Amino acid sequence: MPLRLILHLDLRGRSAAAQARRAARTHLVMAAEGDGGYLSPIALDTALLLISELVTNAVRHTSGGCLLEVRLASEGVDIEVTDTSDEEPEPRRPDRRGEGGWGWHLVNRLGTDVAIRHHAAGGKTIHVRVPREGFAAH
């Protein structure tokens, strides 16, 4: 069984999403090359989009930043974002003028296995998978 390396990033501040995208891109490309597997360009782009959305929301709507974990598995890209809030994301009506509301819809539309785990000590982890071939049409 090949080694499955996990990217761990502790993120804070306005540049958190950009840092997450850069590090995740490098990690996923190297992991795909290292395991001899295939990660489609659409799967990579979808994973980076969902990482950006989840990290942005965690930094914007909670205190204390977030922890990002990314792992390339045989089924796809597993993404987990842990933050300090117990509040679950609520779908909002998207604002076509750029005021947000798209993130949680994108996560649920483009990802699979979306789950929220609450922690006894407080906070939560949001998990989503992006299939190796690309997003799943729901």
- Name the CA dihedral angle for 126, 129, 135, 138, rounded to a multiple of 10 degrees: -70
Q: What is the pLDDT of residues 4-56, one digit of tens each?
A: 579 999 999 989 999 999 999 999 999 988 876 778 999 999 999 999 999 99
Six-digit token string for 78: 């597993």
CA atoms of 88 and 118, how far apart (whole Å)? 9
Quick one: average pLDDT of 97-105?
Answer: 74
Contact 116, 86 (CB under 8 A): no
What are residue 69's phi and psi, to 5 degrees?
-125, 130
Q: pTM of the prediction?
A: 0.89
CA distances from 31 to 12, 105, 110 (A): 25, 28, 21
Contact 135, 48 (CB under 8 A): no
Q: What is the pLDDT of residues 53-76, one digit of tens each?
A: 999 999 988 888 899 999 998 889
